Amino acid sequence: MTEGTELAELRQEVRGWLDANAPTGWRDSNDDHEAFAQSQREWFAKLVEGGYAIPHWPAEWPGGGRNLAEQKVIYEELARADTPRLLLSFVSTYHAASTFFECGSQAQKDRYLPKILEGETWCQGFSEPNAGSDLAALKTKAERKGDVYVINGQKVWSTMAQYADKCLLLVRTSSDGPKQAGITYLLMDMKAKGVSVRPINQIQGDQEFCEIFLDDVEVPVEERVGEEGQGWAVAQATLASERGLTLMELSYRMRGALWRIAELIRKNGLEEDAGVLRDFGHLVARTDSACAIADQFLRNRIDGIERVGDASIVKNTYSRVLREYSLLGTRLGGMEEQYRAPITFGDLNTGNWMADFMNSYAWTIAGGSEEVQRNIISERMLEMQREPKNWVVS
């Protein structure tokens, strides 16, 4: 598509900035966790300085207030220049920020939003061993004692918790009534006494997520978002940002990484293989449709006409196309891909195809699994009847 002059200028500007500032060689150093975290921090600080870290934030923030078309240009250029995806600050700039913008008190906004730009990182402590898809069944307990909540329990699958300064924490403050009604949303300091973190080894050799153990951890009452017992509604704001906004960036990143398949086709001399070209052509169309649906979703959200289930469609589209992308790469790479090669932390389209394939499950499982999204689409959008509640399992 030919761009209007303003967008074309922005593209030139971003490209020029990236020529001077994009990190190089980060893929080689990234199989070392500390080096990875360090390079993530440096790259985030640079992006903040350049004004490209938070294009989706409101305009009063430096680098914020970009419209959709501008965001797209920025993400496309970041992907094209093969810059690292901001995994370490992902939860901070999306989940935490959206939660503050939508539900935070003024004091919380003033305290935490500027800190995010200074590099303070957040993790998300929602899931528990027995509360995954059924998140509202969470049991981590918080007892009010004067001005603090005292917390005991365990969280799991918390992305980047090993590096996080703060945690978006869901706790149970009451066991009465429906399970959603007893949930409260807290902001926890990861350095507080009684917090311990244990990284989990993943199948591709990464340690993206962690267990968090909470043993009499004290969180001041003013660190609560919303009222006691209203945490479920606040959590929806956090989750909505994950299902909607982030997918625009990721879809365009995937599109920007299609050259990796082209390169693989050339490397393996498959340029005239009709079957391979078809599969590639189909993937291109699927990727374009993932971008189109992410675009449409954000336009609808801005126009206030988002429907329940829309975000689920966006997520299930992106996550499936991501799987198809990495699977095609693995297939085209052939035997070569079966030799273990160093992985690149934090990126979904790295060109280490086996690792990318394994990593693609992150999007069909995390943030509400593909099956859970199907439930939402069928029951809430297509209005197919729900099963009776409260099955008794003997």
Partner 1 sequence: MIELNELKDAAQKAFPADQLSPDRDESWKLIAEMGWLMLPVPEELGGLGLGRDAATALHFELGRVLSSAPLITAMFSVQVLCAADKLANKAEWVERACSGEFITLNMLSNDVTLNDDGTLSGPLYAVPDADMASHVIVFVPGLSVLVPLDTDGVTVTERPLWDESRRLFEVTLEKCPVDRDLVIAEGDRSQEIGLGFKAESLLALAADSLGGATATLEMTVEYLKTRKQFNRPLAMFQSLKHRCADLKTQITAAEALLWSRAADMDASLADMGALKALAADVYQFVTEEAIQLHGGIGLTDEHQCHLFMKRAMLNLSLGGSGDELKERTGRQALAAFAAK
Ligand X SMILES: Cc1cc2nc3c(=O)[nH]c(=O)nc-3n(C[C@H](O)[C@H](O)[C@H](O)COP(=O)(O)OP(=O)(O)OC[C@H]3O[C@@H](n4cnc5c(N)ncnc54)[C@H](O)[C@@H]3O)c2cc1C
Residues labelled as active-site residues: 242
Q: CB 235 → ligand X: shortest distance, Å? A: 10
Question: Rounded to an integer, what distance in angstroms lies between the CA atom of residue 315 and that of residue 320?
Answer: 8
Contact 31, 343 (CB under 8 A): yes
Q: Which amino acid is at 147?
A: D
Per-residue x/- mask for ligand X, residues 270 to 309, rule CB under 6 A?
----------------------------------------
Q: Contact region for ligand X (CB under 6 A) — 20-28, 154-162, 281-289, 322-330?
A: 154-162
* Separation between Cα atoms, residue 260 and residue 348, nearest integer Å: 12
* CA separation, residue 145 to residues 149, 221, 281, 330 (Å): 6, 9, 61, 55
**Smallest distance, Å, CB 13 to ligand X?**
33
Reading the block at residue 306, the tokens are 């988002």
User: Using CB distances below 5 to 8 A depending on partner kind, what does residue 372 bind out of ligand X, partner 1, none?
Assistant: ligand X
Is there binding between residue 371 and ligand X (CB under 6 A)? yes
Number of residues near ligand X (by CB under 6 A): 21
Partner touching 1 among ligand X, partner 1, none, CB below 5 to 8 Å by kind: partner 1
In the complex, the residues that contact partner 1 under the rule CB under 8 A are 1-2, 258-259, 262-263, 265-266, 271, 274, 276-282, 284-286, 288-290, 292-293, 295-296, 312-313, 316-317, 371, 373-375, 377-379, 381-387
274 vs 335, which CB is nearer to partner 1?
A: 274
Q: In the bound complex, what is the minimum distance in angstroms from residue 268's beta carbon to ligand X? A: 30
Between 31 and 379, CB nearer to partner 1: 379
Answer yes or no whether residue 162 interacts with ligand X by CB under 6 A. no
Smallest separation (angstroms) from partner 1 to the CB of 279 = 7
CB < 8 Å & 24+ apart, contacts of 110-115: 112/166, 112/187, 113/61
Q: How far is the CB of 363 from partner 1 (least distance, A)?
A: 14
Least spacing, CB of residue 374 vs ligand X, in Å: 7
Least Cβ distance, residue 327 to ligand X (angstroms): 18
Task: Work out what residue 288 binds among ligand X, partner 1, none; the CB cut-off runs from 5 to 8 Å by kind.
Answer: partner 1
**Can residue 362 be called a binding residue for ligand X (CB under 6 A)?**
yes
Q: In this structure, what token pair is assigned to residue 340? A: 């273990």
CA distance 373 to 117: 32
Angle 316-249-33 from CA coordinates, rounded to 5°: 95
- CA distance from start to end of the chain: 59
Q: Show the tokens assigned to 348.
A: 């979904």
Give the 3-state secondary structure of residue 369.
coil
Nearest to 66 by CA among 45, 92, 47: 47
Q: Which one of partner 1, ligand X, none interacts with residue 133, CB within 5 to 8 A by kind?
A: ligand X
**CA pair distance 232, 331, nearest whole angstrom:** 42
Among partner 1, ligand X, none, what binds residue 116 when CB lies within 5 to 8 Å by partner kind?
none
Residue 131 and residue 157 in contact, taking contact as beta carbons nearer than 8 Å: no
Can residue 133 be called a binding residue for ligand X (CB under 6 A)? yes
311 belongs to the binding site for ligand X (CB under 6 A): no
Which residue lies nearer to ligand X by CB, 163 or 280? 163
Residue 237's identity, in one-letter code, is A
CA–CA dist 310, 243 (Å, integer): 9
Among 40, 71, 158, 349, binds ligand X (CB under 6 A): 158
282 binding partner (options ligand X, partner 1, none; Cβ < 5 to 8 Å by kind): partner 1
- Which stretch in 71-79, 125-133, 266-274, 347-355 sits in contact with ligand X by CB under 6 A? 125-133
Q: Which does 266 bind (CB under 5 to 8 A by kind): partner 1, ligand X, none?
A: partner 1
Identity of the residue, 365 or 377, whose beta carbon is nearer to partner 1 in the bound complex? 377
Question: What DSSP line would sit under 50-110, residue for residue?
Answer: HT-S-TTS-TTSTT----HHHHHHHHHHHHHTTPPP--TTHIIIIIIHHHHHHH--HHHHH
